[in-house]
Amino acid sequence: MKKKQNKGGRPAMSSGKRTHIIKAKLTDEEIGVLRRIQQESGLNRTELIRKRVLGGTVVIINIREIISLFDPIGAELGRAGNNINQLARHANMLNKQHKLDPSIVTTFNALLTKYIQIQGELEKALRQLLRKIKDT
């Protein structure tokens, strides 16, 4: 007899299977509040209720607002990258004409290294922030 192959999906729960269903009746106002909290928190209804009842309060994070705050950062990084490309192209043109001062190359390389380091730190901080948001 062949074993059934696992097709993937959600991993098995570590502590007990959730088998009990709870139903509640809400007024139109209450369901509106529940939907607003659900939308703001980014959780589905079941997770929201489970966390509110069993875990205390739910931290409400407005994902859309956070993403809208990230947009200018991404745009600024894009502009900085564009400026770096323009400087590199100009430096290559000057180098072909033998008019490029070596001190400019040294300064450019130092600034580019610093830029790459800062960009890496920013990406790391953004990943940590998104991970914390996901865990709440």
pLDDT tens column, 76-105? 988 998 999 999 999 999 999 999 999 989
pLDDT at 1 exceeding the cut of 60: no
Is 56 found in the same domain as 38? yes
pLDDT for 79: 93
Rg (CA), the chain: 26
**Is residue 5, in this structure, part of any structural domain at all?**
no
**More confident site: 126 or 136:** 126
Q: Tell whether 16 is covered by a domain.
A: no
User: Does some domain include residue 88?
Assistant: yes
Q: Assign 3 to helix, strand or coil.
A: coil
Which of the listed residues 13, 45, 60 is the one where a domain comes to its end?
60
pLDDT band at 32 (very low <50, low <70, confident <90, very high): very high
Q: CA nearest 133: which of 16, 56, 71, 40? A: 40
Residue 25: enclosing H or E segment and its boundaries? none
Number of domains the chain contains: 2
Note whether residue 46 is domain-resident: yes
7 domain residue, yes or no: no
Domain annotation covers residue 19: no
Residue 40: which pLDDT band, with cuts at 50, 70 and 90? confident
* C-beta atoms surrounding 43 within 10 Å: 19
Q: Are residues 67 and 131 in the same domain?
A: yes
Domain that holds residue 87: 63-135
Is the pLDDT reported for residue 46 higher than 70?
A: yes
Q: Return mean pLDDT, the chain.
A: 84
User: In sequence order, which ranges of the chain are alpha helices (DSSP H)?
Assistant: 28-41, 45-55, 63-96, 102-135
97 within some domain: yes
Q: Is the pLDDT of residue 15 over 90?
A: no
Per-residue pLDDT, 58: 61
- pLDDT band, very low/low/confident/very high, at 127 (cuts 50, 70, 90): confident
